[in-house]
Amino acid sequence: MIAPTTLKNTLKEYFGYDTFRPLQEEIIHSIFSGKDNLVIMPTGGGKSICFQLPAILLDGLTIVISPLIALMKDQVDGLTTNGIAAAYLNSSQTESEQQEIYSKIDAGEIKLLYTAPESLSYLENTFNSKTISLIAIDEAHCISSWGHDFRPAYTNLGYLKKRFPTIPMIALTATADKATREDIANQLNIPHAKQHIASFDRKNLKLEVRPANDRVKQIISFIDDRPNESGIIYCLSRKATETVAEKLQGANINAIAYHAGIAHEKRSKIQEDFINDKCQVICATIAFGMGIDKSNVRWVIHYNLPKNIEGYYQEIGRAGRDGLPSNTLLFHSYGDVIQLKKFAQSSGNVEVQLAKLDRMKEYADALSCRRKILLSYFGELISEDCGNCDVCNNPPQFFDGTIIAQKALSAVARLNGQEPIGTVIDVLRGAQNNAILDKNYQTLKTYGIAKDISWLDWKQYITQLINLGYLEIAFHENNKLKLTEFAKDVLFNSKKVDLANLVEATEVLEAQIPKKPKAKKNSLFERLRQLRYKIAQDEDVPAYQIFNDATLREMEAERPMSDEEFIRISGVGRVKMMNYGHDFIKEIISFSKEKKRKRKVDTTKKTYELYQQGLSIEEIAQERKLAQTTIFSHISKLYAEGKDIDMHQFIDKHDLEAIRKAKVALENPDGLKPYFEHFQEAISYATIRVGLTILKKEES
């Protein structure tokens, strides 16, 4: 077992963080104990550190299986920036480039090697001759046909555990329901892997759903309220990406389309421009952005309804990876549902895909806290509403639906969780169809106990109970409806259940979202952001890999002006301190000096305004709660700058003449103290300042 102090020192030195995020340390200790691990952690939750940090400390080579070349490059660039030896190997490289990597592996100069599942054949010699210390399968949901992004090449990875039975394996993904998690473990031959399921609660993401009316107009307004913020717009078709991008360009928004129909070289250039902040908005199909660690994406918009909640959750997770507040906006229409149903009919697992589409539509139509719905979908139940979604901010009218809930939950219990929604409703309404009679469901106590509620209303109420976390759909068991642990409180402890009034709910108006205040053009954050961009351009790396927005925000708040203060900022490690510390500290000091000068200008400006209103020095001092000597210094400065001020009213002509003579006798000394002492304190500092100001103006 490795010492906790070693782990934390390594975390700070290479990644710049003082503490681990939830589950990270537990996962790392599990790896060092030789166990296999399955990690389900939302986008931005810190999955990569779970295998990158052990790789630094383990003796051999860590192999990372990753699905996309762009993802590999992004990860390797980030590791290199942090001073960690990493490389990637794939078919896009020349033979000489590959040979150079092999040489570095032979010399022990690489700790992490990224490769695609299709490129594992390139590693035969490495597997035979080198010590493999850890195998990481990133984006592991790609191995499962139950998942939302199935990739056949991943299904061959099961042989790795058979070939290296004693080497710990870690499989990681941002989204996987129960069926997908089970499938991942079985296909990778790690059925006993320790499962680590992090909270899916991304509190920094604001969740909003709107009807698809004048989408482009709404999107343009949305973006205009967020200047300089990066964002992604996901579209259902290639044509839609191009159409939306063209309309945004017409509104002077720096946007570009991205889809599989664009040539590979151009797609790579588009992605590079977005990663490097040269392009503000990407209009893309869902293939864009998987695993790309661009931490400063501030918003994600879905132009169309996604096909399932897993995909939707992973896509919105690309916003706010740095933990700062970020927005998500989903548009939906009936046309989207029709189109997605057609797609589902031509895919494998048709029933599962259609059921998941239904859940996605139910989320879009939800009348309860959206965050609760997302979390319950992944098996995480919370009792409190989030307060950061459109439903919470503009809730419908609710009524006490406890009796309705108890009837529905009782029916599911009597059916032993073995039937889908339709059958449950038929039992509640006392239907006499073959599906009911053949199974003798007419004998159940719950049969026909709610005939007074229409079939469609029951569908709405059960959807609400699913969204509230009292019921769940087992997609891998023919969409059977099952009770969750929350259901017990309703059935046996008389927990009150509030349901949305269906009549009232249809009349709820779209929430009016307040406009976001414009970013300050000369804030310290903007100055640091521009410095970061310049350095990133010089080094040809993404700006967020220098420092993410959260680190810049902390610099803005803390104003570190020494190496000791700078290294304490979260996200600043040893290598980044050495490489960038001087430039950022210099910028912070420069900004602070400018602000100080500006404050002086602002304060003298206020004094001048009061002087123009006819107030005396005493009255100005009283109004501004400042000493009269301070006001005199303001007046003197304003007079020297050429403002229309009669300075002679503030000084006796004899005192002015005495100061003129003293200036010659004292040989024009610096400061006021020599004059004050020369006059044996008979003339005040304020009068001396006024006199010298008049004399200096006369001389000029």
Greatest C-alpha distance within the chain: 119
Q: What is the pLDDT of residue 291?
A: 47
Write down the pLDDT at residue 598. 67
The per-residue DSSP string of 628-681 comes to HHHHHHHHHHHHHTT-S--GGGGS-HHHHHHHHHHHHHTTS-SSSHHHHHHTTT
Instruction: Report residue 67 CA to chain centroid gap.
Output: 22
Is there a contact between 220 and 251 (Cβ–Cβ < 8 Å)?
yes
Convert 450-492 into a string of H (helix), E (strand) and C (coil): CCCCCHHHHHHHHHHHHHCCCEEEEHHHCCEEEECCCHHHHHH
- DSSP track, 552-566: HHHHHHH---SHHHH
Measured between alpha carbons, how far apart are the two ends of the chain, in Å?
A: 78
Question: CA-CA distance, 257 to 459, in Å (whole number)?
Answer: 39
Q: Report yes or no on whether pTM surpasses 0.75.
A: no
pLDDT mean by block of 10 residues, the chain; 700 residues: 88 92 94 95 86 94 87 86 92 88 91 92 86 93 70 85 94 83 92 91 92 90 92 93 96 92 85 88 76 81 92 89 92 81 79 86 88 87 88 88 94 93 93 90 93 89 86 82 90 89 49 47 86 90 88 92 91 91 93 77 81 86 82 82 86 90 89 86 84 85
Give me the residues paired with residue 297 across strands: 230
Distance of alpha carbon 550 from its chain centroid, rounded?
10
Total residues found in the chain within this entry: 700
Q: Which pLDDT score, from 0 to 100, does residue 304 have?
A: 94
Q: In what order do the strands lie in the sheet containing 326-332?
A: 205-211, 326-332, 297-302, 230-234, 281-284, 255-258
Asked if 110 contacts 40 with a C-beta cutoff of 8 angstroms, the reply is no
Phi-psi region of 257 (alpha: psi -120 to 50; beta: other; left: phi over 0): beta
- Rg (C-alpha) for the chain, rounded Å, is 33
Q: SS3 for 233? A: strand
Phi, psi of 474 (to 5 degrees): -90, 90
